[in-house]
């Protein structure tokens, strides 16, 4: 008999948890190094409130150019809806920082490193009456607290670049907001991972409320094969027994899938709000069933594929509609990114419409403006400007180019004047549309064009 059952045993294959841990490692590595990478002095992603600019894929956008941000948010939300429709709560189980942090603390620190808990039983908390466990818990808390400060710093690097962050923390009193945010975030992560745990996923995270609305019969998620395994719960959700009643029902009632579940649920009850799609139960059942020469009763499938009605259908109308929308938004982002202006200029006319003054035999008419120059480049430049469509209108002030630091804005009072008689009417002021070309004196590729209005008084007022 022993040799029969050994012959029946099938290879369970690579467990999901190994694939998840590899995914967690890649995500952690990418998230840690991304803030350090720059292209032409600009980051891959940086939303700096201090410098009022967004850096995206090495391109800097001033706050005035944040028309991109709604598109980015739209892309992000649609992408979340898309992956939920395709793979259920795949984000929760495979990419969410909360899941990664819990895996680090529970599985890596308390499990592997300190041997306080068994990885195949996540329902059972470590027995604190066991000798040494109190000390181990203290060590686990210290390790996680240090990591929480690293994780919180890593998060802030997407808003304050790491090169500035490490300078600022040398003088914490000068940067109370940054220090406060860093410490509060780290304390929250400590509380969250040590105390809230998976309750965060069930009760705090807003995503859990919307995800089930995104499911359709072809959505892939962790699912129990009730047809083969047998019923464990009745229609009202009451447990019939540990083991199904039917003779041919394959579930052994071992509850390996229940014990391993970090959210303390029984997958055999069907789709539940608490399920984070971590597939630990699928691994557990696969191991049990492999010993019996059978396929796992808990698998990553869709409701229609697990019954054999359909194959897993990733390509369907709904998913293709999301792909089309995401492609459209991405194309819009690329087009907007590529047509981005190399510098920015805002022009506001002052309250005084014009000034008329005699200069020798001439009458000078001047108009005042406030020009706001923004250097969106990663190097400092000397900026100046010219009026390109009216030779008679000249610049009185400023008299020479001025320096603008990278990412900075400089406000200048600008006075334009003319000594020629430009009046076109005896009783009405004349409005001239000026083309203003602002540019970097030291780089001809950096320029921007704007329009401004020059008002010339009626000839009656000039004489």
Element (H, E) at 414: strand 409-418
Question: Is residue 249 close enough to count as binding ligand SF4 by CB under 6 A?
Answer: no
CB of 19 to ligand SF4, least distance (A): 14
Name the phi and psi angles at 395, rounded to 5.
-95, 120
Question: Is residue 121 close enough to count as binding ligand SF4 by CB under 6 A?
Answer: no
CB of 4 to ligand SF4, least distance (A): 20
Looking up tokens 């990663």, which residue turns up?
378
Shortest CA distance to 221 belongs to which of 270, 288, 284?
270
Contact 438, 410 (CB under 8 A): no
Cα 443 to chain centroid, rounded: 34
CB of 307 to ligand SF4, least distance (A): 16
Interface positions, 290-319, toward ligand SF4 (CB under 6 A):
297-298
Sole binder of ligand SF4 in the list 56, 160, 285, 414 (CB under 6 A): 285
Residue 72: C-alpha distances to residues 112, 141, 242, 330 (Å) = 39, 37, 48, 9
Question: Is residue 120 close enough to count as binding ligand SF4 by CB under 6 A?
Answer: no
Question: Is residue 54 close enough to count as binding ligand SF4 by CB under 6 A?
Answer: no
Question: Is residue 81 close enough to count as binding ligand SF4 by CB under 6 A?
Answer: no
Task: Output 305 or 367, the one with its CB closest to ligand SF4.
Answer: 305
CB of 240 to ligand SF4, least distance (A): 13
x-or-dash string of contact with ligand SF4, 84-113, rule CB under 6 A = ------------------------------
Task: Output 197 or 229, the one with its CB closest to ligand SF4.
Answer: 229
Sole binder of ligand SF4 in the list 60, 103, 265, 440 (CB under 6 A): 265
x-or-dash string of contact with ligand SF4, 208-227, rule CB under 6 A = --------------x-----
Residue count at the site for ligand SF4 (CB under 6 A)?
28
Give me the helices (H) in 34-132, please: 68-87, 90-94, 97-102
Which are the contacts of 150, defined by CB distance < 8 A and separation ≥ 6?
A: none
Give the binding range for ligand SF4 (CB under 6 A) out of 54-62, 249-257, 307-315, 450-458.
249-257
Shortest CA distance to 417 belongs to which of 356, 348, 334?
356
The one-character DSSP state at 448 is E
CB of 101 to ligand SF4, least distance (A): 16
Sole binder of ligand SF4 in the list 109, 220, 281, 434 (CB under 6 A): 281
Sole binder of ligand SF4 in the list 42, 85, 98, 277 (CB under 6 A): 277
Question: Is residue 48 close enough to count as binding ligand SF4 by CB under 6 A?
Answer: no
Name the phi and psi angles at 38, rounded to 5.
-125, 150
Interface positions, 353-372, toward ligand SF4 (CB under 6 A):
none
CB of 259 to ligand SF4, least distance (A): 9
Task: Output 239 or 411, the one with its CB closest to ligand SF4.
Answer: 239
Cα–Cα distance between 328 and 334 in angstroms, integer?
A: 10
Task: Output 254 or 415, the one with its CB closest to ligand SF4.
Answer: 254
Cα–Cα distance between 307 and 305 in angstroms, integer?
A: 5
The beta-carbon contacts of 20-29 under 8 Å, at least 24 apart in sequence, are 20/93, 20/94, 20/103, 20/278, 20/279, 21/103, 23/94, 23/95, 24/94, 24/99, 24/100, 24/103, 27/95, 27/100, 28/100
Question: Is residue 434 close enough to count as binding ligand SF4 by CB under 6 A?
Answer: no
Give me the helices (H) in 217-279, please: 226-229, 256-259
Bridge-based pairing of strands 394-397 and 362-374 is: unpaired
CB of 257 to ligand SF4, least distance (A): 3
Task: Output 114 or 285, the one with its CB closest to ligand SF4.
Answer: 285
Q: Which residues bind ligand SF4 (CB under 6 A)?
A: 222, 229, 251-257, 260-263, 265, 267-268, 275-281, 284-285, 288, 297-298
């Amino acid at each position: 008999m022993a040799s029969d059952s050994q012959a029946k045993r099938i290879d369970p294959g690579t467990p999901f948890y190994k694939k998840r841990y590899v995914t967690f490692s890649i995500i952690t590595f990418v998230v840690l190094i991304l803030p350090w990478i720059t292209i032409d002095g600009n980051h891959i992603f940086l939303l700096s409130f201090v410098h009022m600019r967004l850096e995206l894929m090495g391109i800097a956008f001033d706050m005035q150019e944040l028309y991109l941000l709604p598109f980015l948010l739209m892309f992000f939300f649609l992408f979340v809806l898309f992956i939920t429709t395709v793979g259920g709560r795949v984000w929760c189980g495979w990419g969410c920082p909360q899941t990664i942090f819990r895996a680090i603390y529970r599985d890596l620190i308390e499990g592997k490193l300190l041997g306080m808990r068994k990885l195949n039983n996540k329902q059972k908390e470590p027995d604190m009456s066991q000798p040494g466990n109190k000390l181990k818990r203290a060590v686990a808390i210290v390790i996680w607290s240090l990591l929480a400060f690293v994780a919180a710093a890593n998060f802030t690097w997407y808003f304050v670049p790491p090169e500035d962050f490490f300078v600022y923390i040398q003088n914490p009193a000068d940067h109370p907001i940054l220090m406060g945010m860093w410490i509060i975030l780290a304390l929250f992560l400590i509380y969250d991972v040590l105390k809230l745990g998976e309750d965060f996923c069930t009760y705090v995270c807003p995503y859990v409320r919307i995800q089930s609305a995104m499911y359709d019969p072809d959505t892939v998620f962790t699912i129990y094969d009730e047809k083969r395994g047998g019923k464990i719960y009745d229609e009202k959700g009451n447990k019939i027994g540990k083991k199904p009643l039917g003779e041919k029902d394959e579930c052994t009632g071992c509850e390996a899938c229940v014990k391993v579940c970090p959210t303390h649920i029984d997958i055999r009850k069907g789709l539940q709000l608490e399920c984070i799609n971590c597939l630990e139960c699928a691994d557990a059942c696969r191991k049990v069933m492999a010993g019996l020469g059978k396929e796992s009763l808990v698998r990553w499938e869709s409701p229609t594929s697990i019954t054999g009605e359909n194959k897993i259908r990733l390509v369907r109308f709904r998913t293709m509609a999301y792909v089309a929308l995401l492609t459209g938004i991405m194309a819009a982002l690329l087009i907007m990114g590529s047509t981005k202006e190399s510098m920015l200029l805002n022009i506001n006319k002052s309250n005084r419409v014009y000034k008329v003054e005699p200069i020798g035999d001439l009458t000078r008419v001047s108009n005042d403006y406030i020009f706001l120059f923004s250097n969106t480049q990663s190097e400092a430049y000397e900026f100046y400007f010219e009026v390109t469509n009216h030779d008679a209108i000249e610049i009185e002030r400023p008299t020479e180019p001025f320096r603008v630091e990278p990412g900075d804005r400089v406000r200048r009072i600008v006075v334009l004047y003319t000594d020629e008689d430009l009046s076109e009417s005896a009783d009405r002021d004349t409005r001239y549309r000026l083309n203003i070309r602002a540019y970097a004196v030291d780089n001809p590729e950096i320029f921007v064009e704007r329009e401004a209005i020059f008002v010339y008084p009626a000839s009656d007022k000039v004489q």
